[in-house]
Structure 1
Amino acid sequence: MTGAIVPLDQLSLGSSGRVVAIDWSALGQAEAARLRHFGFDEGVSVTPMHLGPLGRDPLAVKVGRMTVAIRRSHARAVKVTTEPA
């Protein structure tokens, strides 16, 4: 069973989620291309790992086997559902 759908920036650190939707229209063309390059797509497993020290930005996210840093405003466009433990 999966949990509620939340923006990626609201998923607890260390909690795994699965991408259910990405609001590409909320992102600029460069930001959307960057997320696609990093492997963000529906069905991908993601885990927020760390927050930056200033303004809690950027957000380090594990995407598959890679860890990437994205802005929290970009993470808000990524909708995830929590995965069972």
Structure 2
Amino acid sequence: MTLADMKVPSQCRIISAANENIEVQGRLYALGLYPGVSVSILRLAPTGDPIQIRIGGMLLSIRKHEAAIIEVEAI
């Protein structure tokens, strides 16, 4: 399952992030999106893109195509 597949609101744990693209993976890791991190999916924009998430105390909005390359498991 990917982060883009998760329902709002929900929580998940990242399994992998952009393994096929090192450049994108580095950017996601810099934002705190790396394996083992717990993520809360808070809301979607009216059009469904972007997705607002919480990592620890930080709020992020990521594009749906970025969320689609982050593999997660529900917790």
Fold similarity call, TM over 0.5 = yes
- The percent of aligned pairs where both chains have the same amino acid is 27
Q: Normalising to structure 2: TM-score of the pair?
A: 0.85
Code of the aligned partner of 1:81: E
- Check conservation: 2:17, 2:25, Cα contact below 8 A: no
Matched, 1:47 2:32: no
Matched, 1:25 2:20: yes
Aligned length: 75
Could you tell me which runs of 5 or more consecutive residues in structure 1 were left unpaired when the two chains were aligned.
Answer: 1-5
Q: Normalising to structure 1: TM-score of the pair?
A: 0.77
Could you tell me which runs of 5 or more consecutive residues in structure 2 were left unpaired when the two chains were aligned.
Answer: none
Q: Deviations over 1:43-67 (max 9, x none)?
A: 000111111123x111111112211
How large is the RMSD of aligned CA atoms in angstroms?
1.7
Runs of 4+ in 1 over 6 A off after TM superposition: none
Bigger radius of gyration: 1
